[in-house]
């Protein structure tokens, strides 16, 4: 990580909002039968992470990780989204229903690299 990114200070409001939205994502996924946990301490204080372990009929293939993070890692005061661990944008932070649908679809995917799991044209994260 370059020094410019390290110097960015997150407002407490941004952190609280990201954690709240991660909590909403968890609640919606659990209603669908997924087992989840929110990581929001230690290494995940700045960008909460939702870990999806199992789903309906045990159909999760491995584990899925969804992060609440800024769209531009160099501007953490800007807009935020839910991001898949593959660095693909799932949905804006306020669009929990789309993030739930994308996460559930990816969790049920039979493997990495299939076209349905990583549709073309998705935004990817930009590093500083």
In the predicted model, residues of the chain with pLDDT beneath 50 are: 1-7, 113, 119-121, 125-128
- DSSP character string of 70-88: ESBTT-TTS-EEEEETTSB
pLDDT at position 14 is 80
pLDDT at position 48 is 86
Cβ atoms of 112 and 40 closer than 8 Å: no
Contacts of residues 108-115 at CB distance under 8 Å and 24 or more positions apart, as own/partner, are 108/55, 108/59, 108/60, 108/61, 109/61, 110/61, 111/61
pLDDT at position 5 is 41
**Vertex 38: Cα angle to 4 and 5 (nearest 5):** 0
pLDDT at position 88 is 92
Residues 6+ apart with CB under 8 A from 4: 74, 128
pLDDT at position 118 is 53
The CA radius of gyration of the chain, in Å to the nearest whole number, is: 14
Closest by CA position to 51, among listed 61, 65, 40: 65
**pTM recorded for the entire structure:** 0.75
Closest by CA position to 120, among listed 88, 72, 82: 88
pLDDT at position 6 is 42
């Amino acid at each position: 990580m370059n020094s410019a990114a390290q110097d960015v200070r997150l407002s407490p409001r941004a952190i609280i909002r990201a954690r709240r939205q991660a909590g909403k994502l968890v609640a919606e996924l659990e209603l669908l039968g997924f087992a989840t946990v929110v990581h929001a301490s230690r290494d995940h204080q700045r960008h909460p992470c939702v870990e999806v372990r199992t789903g309906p009929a045990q159909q999760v293939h491995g584990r899925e990780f969804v992060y609440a993070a800024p769209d531009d890692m160099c501007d953490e005061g800007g807009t935020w989204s839910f991001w898949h661990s593959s660095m693909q944008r799932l949905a804006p932070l306020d669009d929990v229903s789309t993030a739930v649908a994308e996460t559930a679809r990816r969790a049920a995917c039979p493997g990495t690299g299939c076209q349905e799991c990583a549709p073309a044209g998705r935004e990817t994260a930009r590093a500083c």
